[in-house]
A and B are shown apart, each in its own frame.
Chain A
Amino acid sequence: MEDKKSLRAPVSQKPHVVPKPEHPEYLGGSITVEINEKKLTVPFGTTILEACKQAQIHIPTLCHHEDLCVAGVCRVCVVEVEGMRTLQASCAFPITAPIKIKTTTNAVRKARKHIIDLLISEHYGECYSCFRNNNCELQSLAKEYGVDHYNFGHVTQPRYEVDNSSYSVVRDMDKCVLCKRCVRTCIDLQEVGVLEAIDRGHNTHIGTFFDKPLAEVICINCGQCINRCPTGALRANDPRDEIWAAIDDPTKHVVIQTAPSPRAAIGEEFGQGAGKSFTGELNTALRRIGFDKVFDTNFTADLTIIEEGTELILRLYKALVKKEIVALPQFTSCSPGWVKYLEHFYPEYIDNLSSAKSPQQMFGALIKTFYAQKAGIDPANIVSVALMPCSAKKFECNRPEMNSSGYKDVDYGLTTRELAQMIKEAGIFLPEMPQSHFDDPFGEASGAGLIFGATGGVMEAALRSVIEFVTGKRVEDVYANADITPVRGFEGIRYAEIPITEVGPVPKLLQHLVPDWNWLKGATLKIAVCHGTANAKKVMEDIKAGGKFSECHFIEFMACPGGCLGGGGQPIPTNEEIRKKRAEAIYNEDKSLPVRKSHENRHVTELYDMFLTDGPCGHISHKLLHTHYVKRGKFIA
């Protein structure tokens, strides 16, 4: 999150933050402290932890997370501050005086070791049977402090039942260390508010309303809590066993579609730094694992743009020319976490959601119809897997209405983390794979589909097409290199206006829907982009109050901070720097592609010629590529 101020912490949870001075160089703006006898000048209000980081002194942490507010609950980060009777939690101590800090004294070392021993004494779990093995903050603390026996005992029996009621998130509270990162994620960062500390003292645990199963409360399945949990207490619902079984079954034709974000992040699971795409290597690895076909979800992302863009044009046409009442602004619908958020918290606005399915579900419907026909395979024998950066996609493919092919359109949602695990199980080291292409008949996808992975990407992709449709000009003539930078970036909410000064002829694809563009001449297209449901909430409240966002025509919403590249199925850890690097990887790959606009994807135009013959938003596409939503509301029954 770029803008920490945009986090609404409930008053009681709001950390005590000393505002950093605007001009640290002015008198009183900075302060000189002594850390381990070395002097260091930092802006007033810097925490001891941050100061130590600047001084390149490592302090262990557990409850601290860069994306979240200060909690100060685990005390692993204690240091000595001269003159203070007790040790201080460095992550929660803003420097406001020229203090002297010691980070390596006997008292500090002993206290940290005891705290870690105490955490372990309450922890039930065995590392070798845990998905966070080798990527667990509790485990690394134990290693760092040389824990070699259970100093204060150990739990030998499970105390909690594993909650795997949800299609997306599995909770095993026996592994929880009560750091409350998930609570802060769900309440502050996402503003969904599903998790809290329940009970007190020894009985404290993280739970839901009335300790109900997760599937029965208003969880939106975003998985952001998983990405920020330091231990194996939270994980995604893992379909690996079923997928292996399908691959091993010779009667099954197993296909996989891969979304844009996993390829830009999966390298992290193989020890490669963030910010490098492994598209070609991934394709080869997937074939070696045994997938029969490897498709590119970007293809249906292109299709989504055509369908969703057409829908927008139709809505505008109805509103402006026919003076009908239509729901505007139109909201994007590709983020299933966002869709469920809206269904729960703003059900009165479900008509604003684009009826276009997400790219994953469009692909699912096409694989078991168009592709099955073309390849001459009985759709009943096709197992359709979707590689997604997202835990909510697992819920989405299980929505009862997602069966327009007559079968379950997508059988399994697989996350980046889970696929990395499968690749490892197959004995493959991804970065060393030779590169290969996606399979036909969906072999080509545009850069527009690719950038769906980053916040602002859907909007940019839509604009690249809509601008060309309406003005008849090339986007490159309006925005250098077709990079529509006003919608890029990581700011929580972005707003842009695009004046339409001239119009061109209506392209063939849309001729049966609108006669001309004259009604758009001189209009200004107002758009907005936001990511993280806390920001979505701000936009929705503004719309409800009739503010500036209510005048928008089209708004992109993504449930996860950073967009899909920060999704709940992506490699752990996550922070702003990592998310920025993943975005760079995506935008760089977009630049290198020959086709960068959805409507120029020739496979898409072919699909309309051959299969979706009554055009975008026509009957066939409505049956296969569009959906409806449920007014869920907030009440927990």
Chain B
Amino acid sequence: MLVVEKNALSEEIESYVEKYGNDRSALLMILHEIQKKHRHISEFAQQEVARLLNIHPVEVYSVISFFAFLNSNPKGRNLVRICQTISCDMKGKKQVVQAIERELGIKIGETTKDNKFTVEYANCLGLCDMGPAMAINDQVYVNLTPEKAVELLSKVK
């Protein structure tokens, strides 16, 4: 990471701390902002957050590792999350997953070579009556079939 990049990131995080305060209860809001902008929270960013909130870096890492929607390592430009919980599972999640894996040529948890997609499992999205459900970035899709899932992916830029 270049020094200028580091400085820019530090400044950015400082601005979030200004906005949300430097109490440790502000941690999640700050992490969300960083995640939104950079799609991951780097080692350096985590240590900067720790420094500014006066907590330990490992505590920041612990929180990030706890939440599926926060991540430490860069992911593809688009995040596909397929519900793996019981209702969706019973409604045919497996076929949907297979179709997506085949279409993108990667396995769950992996990122496509062109960095366009990362595919993951998620736990219940709260749409159990309309399963199988999945989310592409912030948008949820329901009543999926393998064909529908593949079609949705093809529309993503």
**Which A residues contact B (CB, under 8 angstroms)?**
10-12, 187, 192-200, 207-210, 217, 634-636
Q: Mark B102-117, 1 if CB is under 8 A from A, else 0.
A: 0000000000000000
Select from chain A the residue with minimum beta-carbon distance to B64. A198
| Chain B residues in 8 Å Cβ range of A200 | 65-66
In the complex, are the beta carbons of A198 and B59 less than 8 A apart?
Answer: no
B47 touches A198 (CB 8 A): no
A192 to B56, CA, bound (A): 8
Tell me whether A636 and B62 are in contact in the complex, defined as CB-CB below 8 angstroms, given that A10-B24, A12-B24, A210-B43 are known contacts.
no
Given A10-B24, A193-B56, A636-B47, are A209 and B61 neighbors across the interface (CB < 8 Å)? Answer: yes
Is chain B's binding surface mostly helix, strand, loop or mixed? helix
- Shortest Cβ distance from B67 into A: residue: A200
Q: Is there an interface contact between A198 and B55, defined as CB atoms closer than 8 Å?
A: no
In the complex, how many angstroms separate the beta carbon of A274 from the nearest chain B beta carbon?
33
Which of B59, B66, B72 makes the CB contact (< 8 A) with A210? B72
Q: Which of B25, B47, B66, B72 contacts A635 (CB 8 A)?
A: B47
Q: Would you give the shortest CB distance from A179 to chain B, in whole angstroms?
A: 16
Question: Which B residues fall within an 8 A CB radius of A?
Answer: 23-25, 43, 46-47, 51, 55-59, 61-62, 65-66, 72
Which residue in B25, B57, B59 is a CB contact (below 8 Å) of A636? Answer: B57
Question: In terms of DSSP, what is the predominant structure of the interface of chain A?
Answer: loop
Provided the pairs A12-B24, A635-B47, A636-B43 are in contact, do residues A209 and B57 lie with their beta carbons within 8 angstroms? Answer: yes
- What separation, in Å, do the CA atoms of A217 and B43 have in the docked complex? 12
A10-B59, A193-B56, A210-B61 known, 15 other contacts, Cβ within 8 Å: A10-B55, A193-B57, A194-B56, A194-B58, A195-B58, A196-B58, A196-B62, A198-B62, A199-B66, A200-B66, A208-B58, A210-B43, A217-B58, A635-B47, A636-B47
Taking a contact as CB atoms under 8 Å apart, the answer to whether B24 and A198 are in contact is no
Which A-chain residue is minimally distant from B63 (CB atoms)?
A: A196
Q: How far is the CA of A209 from the CA of B65 in the complex (A)?
A: 10
Chain B neighbourhood of A187, CB < 8 A: 56, 59
A194 to B65, CA, bound (A): 15
Chain B residues whose C-beta falls within 8 Å of the C-beta of A10 in the assembled complex: 24, 55, 59
Q: A210-B43, A210-B72, A635-B47 are in contact. Are A197 and B55 (CB under 8 A)?
A: no
- Residues on A with C-beta less than 8 A from B25 are 11
Minimum Cβ distance to chain B for residue A627 (Å): 28
Q: A192 to chain B: which residues have CB within 8 Å?
A: 56
Do the beta carbons of B61 and A196 come within 8 Å of each other? yes
A11 to B51, CA, bound (A): 16
B61 in complex: contacting residue of A11, A12, A198, A634, CB < 8 Å = A198
Are the C-beta atoms of A193 and B58 separated by less than 8 Å?
yes
